[in-house]
A and B are shown apart, each in its own frame.
Chain A
C-alpha cells in the first residue's frame, strides 16, 4: 500500500468529481440527473478509499501513518499529509457524512443542483485536507478554503435572511482565522519550519506560546463555536439549506475541535495548561447558557443549533482536562454529535420539505400521519439528550468522568447541562410530534419515502452501534491519545492547577 499515495488520492478524489461535474452538458434535466449520479459515485469512491486506509491502518502505532511529503513552494511550504488515529476518525466521519449530504441535496434542492454538488465536493476535499495536513501552511489553506463553498451554500441556496447570515458567518470565521495566520507566520519565523511532526518536538518558551496559542484559539473558538462568539451559528443554520446545516454541524465545527487537540495541545502544551481555566469557564457558560436559550426557541433549526453549541461545550471541556477519558470522550462526542446533529437537521429537513416552515408552533400531532418518521426522530432526539445505548451517552459520560477526575465543579456544572438537554429535546419533540393535529396542512403529509430512509438509516445504525460498541472509535484513537496524554502529563505536573 505504501507505493500508492492513497491519502492524497482520498483528498483529491472529490476534485476529480468536480471536474466531471463541470464537463456535463446537455438538457437541464439530463444535467440534473447525471450530476446527481456523478456526485454520488465520487463521494462513494472517496468513502471506499477512506475505508481502505482504515483497513491498512496500524491501530497500535501512535504516530502518523501513510505520510507523504513533496516540496511545493521553494522549500518554504511542503505538501505533507499523514494520519494518526485521531485524524483518521475525522476523515472517516467526513467521507461518511458527505454521501448522505449529497443524497439529501438531490432530494430537496431543485435549482442549480450541479453547482450545489460542486460546492459540496469542494468542501469534502478541503475538509479531508484539514484533517490530514501535516504542514501548518496547507492546513491553513484547507481550513480557510473550506469557508468559501460554505459561504456560497448559505448565500445562494439559503432562506430569506441568507445574505446577512452568510456574511455574518464569513466575517466571524475570517476574523478568527486572521489571528491564526499571524500565529502561523510567527511560528515560521521562530522555528523555521511549518512541518507539524517537527514542530511537535520543539519547545517554545511559555510567554511566546501564550500569544501563539491565543492566535489559534481565536480561530478555533469561533469555529467551535464557543460562547460568546457563537451567535453566527444559529443564524447560519437557520438560513442554510438542510445539507448545508448537516455539513456545518457534522464536520465544519469538528475542524475546531480537531485543531484544539492537534495544534493547541500538541504545539503549545504549556499555554494550553495555562489557559485551561478560561476554556472551562467559557464552556460551562456555553453549556448552561445555550441550553437555556434553546429551551425558549420557536424555530426548530435554531433550537438544534443552540443545542450544538452546548454539545460542543462538552467537547472543549473534555479536551482541556488533558486526561485520557476526557480527550477520548471529546473525540467520541464530536463523532457522535456529527452523526446525531446531522440526523436531527435531516429530520427537520424532511418535514420542512413538506411544510416549508420551521416554526414549531405550526406543527403538532405529526405522529398520527407520519409514524415511521416519528420513530426515527425519537431515536435521534434520545441520542441528542445522551440516553445510554446511543452514541451521545458515551461521549458525555466519558467527558464527565474525565472532568470529574480533574475538578468536580466542572463536571457538576456540565452535568446540569445534561438535565437541560433532556428538557429542550423532549419539549421540542412533544410540540412537533405529539398532540392533536391543529394545522390542517399536516393531514396531507406523507410518511418518509425510500430516499429519506436511505439517508436516515445509516445514521440511525451508527448512533446505536456506537452506543453499544463504542470500541469501534475508541480503539482507533486509543494509542494516539495515549501518546498525547503522556506528553501532556509532563506539562500538567509542573502546573499548580493540576496537582
Chain B
C-alpha cells in the first residue's frame, strides 16, 4: 500500500507525460486525478492508523548509493509526521488536479500541465517519505524542478520564464546550504540515515570545530546550514524573493506548490530534524529571529500590494514565518499543526482568487475589481470563510493553530521569544488588515473595471466550486477536529518518536488579556477595515500622500530585488565578461598560444632576413661564425 502512495503519482506523470497527446486531454486529466485520489485515500488511511497508534513503517525499494560508509536506499519511511504530511500533500494535490480541469480549460497543453502536477506530487512524496538525507535532497530538488516547470508553464511569457529561473536559482542557493549541512553530518556522524544520525547527535554537542573561519559546536553548524536550505525552500527573509515572482505560474500551481505543500518543506525539514535542533540553542535563536522577522516583513508588504495573488503570496511567506518561530521555540508539533490548517485555508484562498481571476477573464489587479460579490456568491462565501480562518477568527482552523503558536512563544524561555511574541502579535493585526483589505477591495465598493462589464462576471463552474467547498470544510473544521490529537495534552501519544522534545512540552494557560488579544482585535479589524477600505478611502489616500517614501518602500517590497540586482546579478555578468575577454582571450591566449605563434613569426621573419640569397652575405656569416668558433677553441 505504501508503494502505491508514492508510485501512483509517478505513473500518472509518466502516462500523461509520454502518452498525453494520444490519450487526449480528457483521459490524461481523469487518469492523473484518479491516481492521486487513490493515493489520497490511502494516505488518509495511514493517518487514521497512526492516530490509533500504528508503528513506524520503513520499506526499502532498492539500493541507491553504496560507497564506504554511505549505504543509502530508495526507501519509504512513514511515521506520524510523514502521515500528516502525506494527507496534506495528497489531498491538496488531488483537489488542485480536479480544479485544474476547469481552470486550464482553454489551455492547449493540458496533458503536460497534469503530468507536471503529478511529477510534483511524486517528488514531494519522495521528500517526506525519505529515511535519509540524500533522498530528502532528491525530493527537495525534485519539487524545485516541478516548481520551475510549472512557474514557467506559459513559456511564451518572458516574465514567467524569468520567474521560473529565479525560483530555481534562489532555491539552489538554499540547497547549497542544505548540501553543506548534509556534508557536515556525513563528516561527523559517518552516516546519512536519519535514525543513525539522530542517535549520534547528542554525543557531538560538546564537539567544537573551526568552520569557515569561525568557532562553534558541530551541531550548531549543522543546524544553521540545514536551516539555510529550509529558508530557500520556504521563502524566508533574504531568500524570499522568488516566491512573489512565482505567481507568474497558473493559479492552481500557486495554491498547490507555493502555498500548501512545497514551501512548507522547510518547516517539515526542521521538524524532522528536531533531534538535532533541540541540541542547539543558538540555531533555535536564529530560526526564531528569521521566522519572526519574515512574518512581520512579509505582512507589511502584503498591506500595499495590488495584485491579488501577490498579496496571498506574501501572506504565505508571513505564515511560514509563524511556523518557523514556533519550531524555533521547540513547538514543532504546533508548527506542523499550523502547517496542516494553513494548507487548507491558504489553498482555499488561492483557489478562490483563481476563481475570481477566472470570472474576471484574467484580471489580477484588485484596483480593477469591486462589488462583484453578488455575481460570484459561492466564491465570495468560500473566500470569506478562508479569510476568517487566516485571521484567526474564533473556532475557525487558524484560530487554534495561530493562538497556540503565540502562546508557545509567550511561555518560551528562549531569549529571542520576546521578539517573536511582539512581532507575532503585531503580524496578527497586519494579517487581519491585509486580508480584509483583499476581501473588500475585491468584492465590495465600486466596480472599477473598465474592460469587462459587471454583468458579464459569472460564477465559475462546479468543477471549480467543489474543490473549493471541500477546502472550506477543511478551513472550518481542521483546527477543531485535530487540535487535541496534534497539540493536546497527549500529543506525545500521537507524535511518538517522529518529533523529539528535549523536555516535555506543555502548554500553560496564558493570562486572559493575551488570550483575547488577537481574536478580539481580529474581529474589530473586520469592521475597521471595512471603514477604511470601503467607506472612507480618502483617509488612506491622505496617509499615502503624507508617508510617500514609506509607502513606496513597502510597495517596492523593501527594495530587495533592486538590492540583489545591484549586488549579484549585474556584477556576475560583468565579471563573466571580464574573465572571458581579459582573462581567456587577452591574457591566456594572448600570451599563450597566440603569443607563442607571434614570437615564432617574429623570429622567423628575422631569420628570413639572413636568407637574402646573396652569396657574400652567407660568406660573411660563415666567416664570423668561424672566427667565434676558433676564438672559443683557442681560449
Contact = CB atoms under 8 A, between A and B. Distances in A.
B426 interface: no
A468 B134 CA distance: 12
A398 B68 CA distance: 11
Given A388-B134, A422-B168, 19 more contacts: A228-B588, A231-B592, A292-B572, A387-B141, A387-B142, A387-B145, A389-B142, A393-B138, A401-B186, A405-B186, A408-B183, A412-B180, A419-B172, A419-B173, A419-B176, A435-B161, A436-B156, A471-B65, A474-B67
Contacts of B158: 435
A166 interface: no
Contacts of B74: 468
A454 to B, nearest CB: 18
Interface string A390-408: 0001100110110011001
B515 interface: no
A394 B137 CA distance: 12
Contact of A296 (B70, B142, B573): B573
B171 to A, nearest CB: 9
18 contacts: A228-B588, A228-B592, A231-B589, A234-B584, A292-B572, A292-B575, A293-B576, A328-B67, A368-B156, A394-B65, A409-B212, A411-B180, A412-B180, A419-B169, A430-B164, A434-B152, A469-B63, A470-B65
Contact of A295 (B65, B140, B573, B583): B573
A423 B449 CA distance: 40
A412 B64 contact: no
A92 B579 CA distance: 37
A328 B68 CA distance: 10
Contacts of A297: 580
Contacts of A405: 183, 186-187
Contacts of B468: none
B68 A325 contact: yes
A24 interface: no
Contact of A471 (B66, B168, B575): B66
Nearest to A388: B138
Contacts of A229: 588, 592
A231 B176 contact: no
Interface string B570-609: 0011011101100110001100110010000000000000
Given A412-B212, A435-B155, A325 B580 contact: no
B211 interface: yes
Contacts of B142: 387-389
A301 interface: no
A98 to B, nearest CB: 29
Interface of A: 168, 171-172, 228-229, 231-232, 234, 289, 292-297, 323-325, 328, 365, 367-368, 382, 387-389, 393-394, 397-398, 400-401, 404-405, 408-409, 411-412, 415-416, 418-419, 422-423, 426-427, 430, 433-436, 468-471, 474, 478
Given A434-B161, A471-B63, A423 B169 contact: yes
B165 interface: yes
Given A400-B179, A415-B180, A292 B592 contact: no
Interface of B: 62-68, 70, 74, 134, 137-138, 140-142, 145, 148, 152, 155-156, 158, 161, 164-165, 168-169, 172-173, 176, 179-180, 183-184, 186-187, 211-212, 572-573, 575-577, 579-580, 583-584, 588-589, 592-593, 596
Nearest to B141: A388
Given A292-B575, A423-B169, A434-B161, A416 B580 contact: no
Contacts of B187: 404-405, 408
Determine chain A's interface SS by DSSP, over half rule: helix
Contacts of B589: 231
Determine chain B's interface SS by DSSP, over half rule: helix
Given A292-B575, A422-B172, A470 B68 contact: no
Given A172-B593, A434-B161, A436-B156, A474 B180 contact: no
A168 B65 CA distance: 41
B172 A418 contact: yes
Which of A172, A382, A398, A401 has the most CB atoms of chain B within a 10 A radius of its CB? A401
A259 B600 CA distance: 31
B584 A293 contact: yes
B17 to A, nearest CB: 8
Contact of A325 (B64, B67, B165, B576): B67
B474 to A, nearest CB: 32
Contacts of A474: 65-67
Contact of A389 (B138, B165, B169, B577): B138
A231 B584 contact: yes
Contacts of A433: 155
Nearest to A302: B580
Contacts of B152: 430, 434
Contacts of B137: 388, 397
B579 A469 contact: no
A231 B65 contact: no
Nearest to A293: B580
